[in-house]
Amino acid sequence: MPHFLVVNVAAIPTAWVGGLDFGVVAPLDIDPRWLETDEEDEADLMALARGAGVADPEIVAIAGDPVTRICSAAEEHGVDVIVVGSHDKSALRRLVDPSVAAGVVRATYRPVLVVSGKPPSAAL
């Protein structure tokens, strides 16, 4: 029976500090409780996984850079395939909020399945 690992990453917000010639991306001061997950969070993840047909997933809830954390979890748990969701973003939105799916594809040697949130179009 296949084993499923569900990874939920809370991205730590960052701020751009600097002028026109240079700048620094720095983490914002945040309440440490924001980084903690509780039983309710894990229950929500479990319900989503079961709704997708995954009977008994292992839940990992962590904070940090989503691309780095997803790839690290895949390595630590020896996954066979990484599955990530994707949605359309405008070019401007991609500049300030890069695609996690594209980042995972570039950052790992493991196979990656990117799933769009859009249903297939009947017009195709």
CA angle 101, 24, 109 (to 5 degrees): 25
Residue-range domain boundaries for the chain: 1-64, 80-124
Q: What is the tens place of the pLDDT at every residue in 72-122?
A: 999 999 999 999 988 777 777 666 667 889 999 999 999 999 988 766 664
Round to whole Å and give the CA distance between 52 and 41.
Answer: 17
pLDDT-derived band at 42 (thresholds 50, 70, 90) equals confident
Q: Which residue has the higher pLDDT, 120 or 1?
A: 120
Instruction: Give the global pTM.
Output: 0.71
* Closest by Cα among 24, 98, 108, 13 to 64: 13
Give residue for tokens 């229950």: 43
